[in-house]
Amino acid sequence: MRELASTNLPVEDLQLPPDPARDELLKADTKAVAGRRIPEILSLSELGSPDLSQRAVLLPRANTLSGFNFHNRRFGRLLNAAGRVQLFNPEIVLVKFKGARHVAAIRVGSGQELQAARALVHRPDVQFAELDEYETRESFPDDPLITNQWHHQVLGSAQAWALNRGQSFIRIAIVDAPFQMDHPDLSPHVVDGWDADQNVAITNSSGIDHSTLCAGLAAAVVNNGVGIAGMGNCAILPININGAISEMYDAVIWAADHGVRVVNISWTGGDSDTLNAAGAYLEATDRGILIMAGGNADAAPYATNQPDVYCISMTDAADNMQSLAGPQVDFAAPGWNIYSTVTGGGYDFASGTSYSAPVFAGVAAVLMSINPTLGPDDVIGILKATAYQPDGWPSGQWNEFYGWGRIDFASAASVTEATLPMITGIVLSNGQARVTASYRAGATYSLWRSDSLEGNWFPVSDVVTATNSNSISLIDPSPPDSSAFYRITSP
């Protein structure tokens, strides 16, 4: 890429939508963010210093000034491989030192960012270095062409919901400007979120359409007699960003550290090394999955497939591909002329890989609800094994348009259900509940309890287990006085 000068640009030149609600909350005249430190400016010669890693600031504790620069319209610019202007956060280079837990921020003089990144990658202690690019939302508006929520029929949602409609202990983060948190079809599932720019909690938001559409596709309430249905009844929360890679990284790390297992980022950037490091952290810390938009047909080509970021391409009602092909694609999902929630408590159609991504996220969350012990590799393996391959495309092969295939919710839910051990008996005796199930040697088993079949399931603590060649017994030492339902899970 060819470097251009850092500059101030008006909103209309950025092709980024204005966000008046967030702009009113942000104090654009101050750089300070509570709990964050602005990195010191280093000269290019100092980038060779042996103690450089000590002078870098880890992203969860760094104030990269991405929000300040965004709201003051101060950006660096590059010409990317497609000949388009790519905006980046000036003065900041993102670097991962080998053996370090987190990506860090290094600050250099304005105009020296690209030179600094190129110098850093030659250090033997550096795993990667890249600019803090501002990414873009992957969507575009369109008129309705097909009936509302056609994607549920295509994916077999009704069959999947017969097994499980999703559980609130599985949470989905929508990383974007916040969605409308009090939308009537979302609010029963909404929990407080976090602002990755200002490092504060988000408890309410009137929202923007892009993120509200995403939230509805993932988790609008199923079977509540109101509006539409998301993919499942999982909890959902907003994490605010302005679009910088560093903010996305912080968002994923915060989600992982706060028990969020599914993170959706409907923006470009799925080929970023920094975001791949965040995805790996999410997997290792909370057995979670990072999902991103696969790129619309007019998006700049991606260069690589990151192993810990799952990019989703977009299909229409006839399973035709409507988005960017390339090595980044992992799966396909409906996203063309798709119907969901918008601000003001309303509903509308939209198209984009921005929307195929939260459909995938909602499906993944429901699979985790069916068997919470499944790890990310288990969930992805099930989705690969059950994916639909259009036009006779061979099963088990990857394709640059569809990835491993267009997801099949019904089949994936059925296979996930089959991973649960079959309960053969429940006996109440001496104030304890003994639950017996079929046993497979070498597997790990957990006992879960709920007060209703459609309620929340919680792991039972202090379980006592006993096994023989064919069965396992798990004893709940403190069952409730009223009725209870039990489930045994095993990956």
The full set of domain ranges for the chain reads 2-133, 151-417, 423-489
Q: Which two tokens stand for residue 150?
A: 């056609």
Q: Which two tokens stand for residue 75?
A: 């950006």
Rounded distance, CA 78 to CA 2, Å?
6
Residues in contact with 417: Cβ distance below 8 Å, sequence separation at least 6, in sequence order:
163, 164, 370, 371
Q: Is the dihedral angle over the CA atoms 474, 478, 479, 485 positive or is it negative?
A: negative
- Give the per-residue pLDDT at 26: 44
| pTM of the predicted model as reported, rounded to 2 decimal places | 0.82
- Give the per-residue pLDDT at 71: 86
Most confident of 74-83, 139-148, 297-306, 359-368: 359-368
CA gyration radius, the chain: 23
Share of the chain above pLDDT 90, in %: 65
Residue 490, helix vs strand vs coil: coil
Q: Which residues are catalytic?
A: 176, 210, 354
pLDDT band, very low/low/confident/very high, at 449 (cuts 50, 70, 90): confident
- Give the per-residue pLDDT at 459: 87
Rounded distance, CA 59 to CA 257, Å?
14
**pLDDT tens string 162-171:** 889 999 999 9
pLDDT band, very low/low/confident/very high, at 63 (cuts 50, 70, 90): very high
Residues in contact with 489: Cβ distance below 8 Å, sequence separation at least 6, in sequence order:
371, 372, 373, 419, 420, 421, 445, 446, 448
- Name which of 123-132, 289-298, 465-474 the model is least confident about: 465-474
What is the overall mean pLDDT for the chain? 88
468, with CB counted inside 10 A (0-12, 13-18, 19+), is exposed
Domain 151-417 has CATH 3.90.1300.10: no
- Please give the average per-residue pLDDT across 397-409, as a whole number: 94
- Asked if pLDDT for residue 401 goes beyond 80, the answer is yes
- Name which of 42-51, 171-180, 208-217, 462-471 the model is least confident about: 462-471
